[in-house]
Amino acid sequence: MNVASITEMWHRLTGTQPDPSRWLVLVTALIALGAVASRGVWHVTRNAVTIAHEGGHGLVALLSGRRLDGIRLHSDTSGLTVSRGKPYGLGMVLTAAAGYTAPPLLGLAGAALLAAGHITALLWGATALLLVMLVMIRNAYGALTVVIACALFLAVSWLTKAQVQAAFGYLVVWFLLLGGARPVAELQRTRRRDGSRSSDPDQLAWLTHTPAALWMLLFYTVALCSLLGGGSWLLRA
């Protein structure tokens, strides 16, 4: 790759793209809402939220100095991230809290990029994160899921026109923003029905000696604030 090609790629990454039309922003929001609200569709699209959830655990584990052993994604849309280090302390707390907060916060970051016109930066950044996550996947289904997602982002980035890229970017960001709270609601129903006490908020309750309900409230608050803030940015764009 010569210097001219590198310069061109850098300009594409850091440059801005024209704002999409208002109808595109609204239509992608409605499609994302349908993907979250429909039970049958959600069973498939929830895999994307699981990727963000487990990726959040893994990224924060690394940033907090823990050793990441691997990530597994399962066909029932559940996942597992295993890290090694002290079983207590701030690093462990942040790692446990990162899962349910990662999808809406990623959506919020994506909305900031789209509002600034950086559609290419959004697509390439998501691709880079997926490639990094792929290295840490430890099961076949998880690897297949991440490869498909990565291939989709690459195909849209390189093979489609600007309007299609904008539609895809807005659809992904709306989905993360709208889908941020549903897994928390599902967890709340599961805890109430089964009495399970092995979830992230229960682990956080044990680590911090605080009620698990407090962490559930935090997850809901992050999801709602991200939706309100990110949604307003997208609609203004």
pLDDT at 205: 95
pLDDT at 42: 96
Is the pTM for the entire model greater than 0.85? yes
pLDDT at 217: 97
pLDDT at 3: 55
Asked if 156 and 165 touch (Cβ cutoff 8 Å), the reply is yes
> What is the Cα–Cα distance from 203 to 198, expressed in whole angstroms?
7
Tens digit of pLDDT for each residue in 112-124? 999 999 999 999 9
Q: Residue-wise pLDDT tens for the chain (237 aa)?
A: 555 566 666 666 666 777 888 999 999 999 999 999 999 999 999 999 999 999 999 999 999 999 999 999 999 999 999 999 988 899 999 999 999 999 999 999 999 999 999 999 999 999 999 999 999 999 999 999 999 999 999 999 999 999 999 999 999 999 999 999 999 999 999 888 876 677 999 999 999 999 999 999 999 999 999 999 999 999 986
Tens digit of pLDDT for each residue in 141-165? 999 999 999 999 999 999 999 999 9
